[in-house]
Structure 1
């Protein structure tokens, strides 16, 4: 979040280093608050109010930042201090963000088979010197929403906690998950611990309503699907 600037201050009253545009150039867009980002899009305030005040009014009107993506021209111009020119600037930025987000969705890797999952993970995991337990979080179309390393170290049932995996799955609104880990020995044959962990995760997923689709073991440019092997 950015530096909190009192809304009643005019931009000219704010130290130059604390102004949104200057902070963006110096620290990057990610360092700014929602209010400051909108202020940059609006560019100017009115004779009696700062651009930060206008930005704050927009945020208060829509309550949650994601509600802006459904904003109409009529809604935005109904906000005090916002004319058509500023509303059009906001709508253009919102539409650009929507298109970028859609491109990310369209470009998401889709997993249709164990081979797809292995191909997605193997380049990174096949040469690791330690065991890495990784989870892929998928949407209803089996597209990868997120990949996360859950832990690093030897796999056993006491280390892999279903709550950690499924907490992240709920957070990501995942419909299903695929778990994977590597065997530094290069041999992908599942151990009794691998099978035990898989069953515990499968049972936990069944209770929560988020399916464990597969557990992939990656060796030296080879893999084994525990689902294909009948362990699930």
Structure 2
């Protein structure tokens, strides 16, 4: 089945190039130029992924992301941001964007990011599917389902990948740069991406996110998953 990508960008020059590259890569692409149209398009025919610009007329990209994340379908989102908009980029990740690219960007890199996010969302992992368990937290990597005490968690693609990776390597401290490379596949990039995703995960799996017991901070290093069961 051809995967559908919705491109949301009001810059016609940028969107034309992005759409052309994605179509050449084999995706079915729909383009809209504003936030309201984006929400209508998702409701009419849900895409497999949304490429979402932050700067949109009317309803901006952050609000679109917020509304999409409030829906149970959990469509993956790649945000496009201006180079200097670090605060907006971090806010976008906090709202649940799975990835981001700063403008100007390489269309080829965007295609690679789209392919990576869709591959992970579809359950294609570099390791065999398994079931990870720890004190009421169950992560099934095949169907990509995570539950805490029987309640299914709503995780983005990257949140799921990060949690599964940390649980596969319990009691081991990872630097943020290591996690960025091993979970996101980036050999370089903004390490605050990892920080934001850890914060979001803690809000979903910790009893007290301000005093985490599962994903703990190793000062001067990074993060470690601390298992309850052994």
TM-score (norm 1): 0.30
TM-score (norm 2): 0.31
Which has more helix, going by share of residues?
1
Higher-Rg structure is 1
Which has more strand, going by share of residues?
2
